[in-house]
Structure 1
Amino acid sequence: MSVNVRLATIGWMGDRLKDTYAPLYLLAGAPGAGKTTLLPHLLQAADGLVVMDMDELLEEGALIGVPIAEPEAAPIWPAYDRMWRRIVTMVRRAGHPVLLMCPIPDAIEVPAFVRWDGPVHWALLDCPDDERKRRLQKRGAPQRWIDDALADAAEGRDLITTVFQSVGADHAGLATQVLAWAASPPADRCKP
């Protein structure tokens, strides 16, 4: 097969694959929302849904030795996001729906096809600010990180209307609620 025919075939396949993505369910949460605590409960009950947390590739806040889980690393976050987009896209184009736990998005990232190819559904994992502060203090987070997390949480509340509270709920029950949402998501409920 000639190079031109091979490239044309690859181009055709790429165009065809863009229309065949399985759904993506994004569960956003500011630091301290409870994503890491909820993850094993989601995995246990997922039943065919691929569940991932954007922090799963990090080891002690670093990726291949580069610290990226700190506010000072913000300039390299877009590259980390692009890597996750590729990972999630490969799984979705194979026909597997994905639930990805992620940080609070910027408002421009919420509409489908801006950052993620559709269908895309958003929900927020949240807790009251005093609980978030307590959780982050328990982790030893500096005050500026706590302040950033509180600001992120406020942005999430302004942006995403489908909300799951991680306080006072048993984790297995909360996982069941989140998975029920993913099994039959309402129309995207993000504020314009």
Structure 2
Amino acid sequence: MFFGNTNIPIIHLDKKEQQKFKTLHEVFIDELETEDNIQAEMLRMLMARFIIKSTRLLKAKEGILETPKSSKVDLLREFNFLVEQHFKKEHSVSFYADKLFRSPKTLSNNFAKLNRSPLQIIHERVVLEAQRLLTYTDKTAKEIAYEIGFDDAPHLSRLFKKYTSQSPSDYKKGLKTTG
């Protein structure tokens, strides 16, 4: 959410905050069971509420003072939102930097504290999606490559292997032997 899918900050909640998140979780589960034409909108709203509450707690924990659009946490969160929206088509840091009205270098500097680059976060999200598609669909690596914005399967395969230490086909075979 704030930092991609690694180096996740741990926020300890007091009983009052635990109850608030428990209630939000219960409402979210209830909404998942309610299938109607506004379910998706309601789930998005509940997720936004969860993200806002989490952001506020992280800012309080980190002692971050509110300044208009200058907070690094806000920048990281906005970057991650953009990645989530565009990772299937856009894999370049410059695309996201432009959307955030920053230079790629400035964006990279803001990520230095995480010991990860914006490109790593983009790649991790792409690989996570490839893993999801390999796990839950019958699509081939080639089909998945095209779906997540690659011109050819070998490019995805190299990236996948870099982050998981196995090829997409080996990953898929491993799923069949364990499941």
Q: Same fold (TM over 0.5)?
A: no
Given the two structures, how large is their TM-score scaled by the length of structure 2?
0.32
Given the two structures, how large is their TM-score scaled by the length of structure 1?
0.30
Of the two structures, which has the highest relative contact order with CA contacts closer than 8 Å and spacing of 6 or more? 1
Name the one with the larger helix percent: 2
Name the one with the larger strand percent: 1
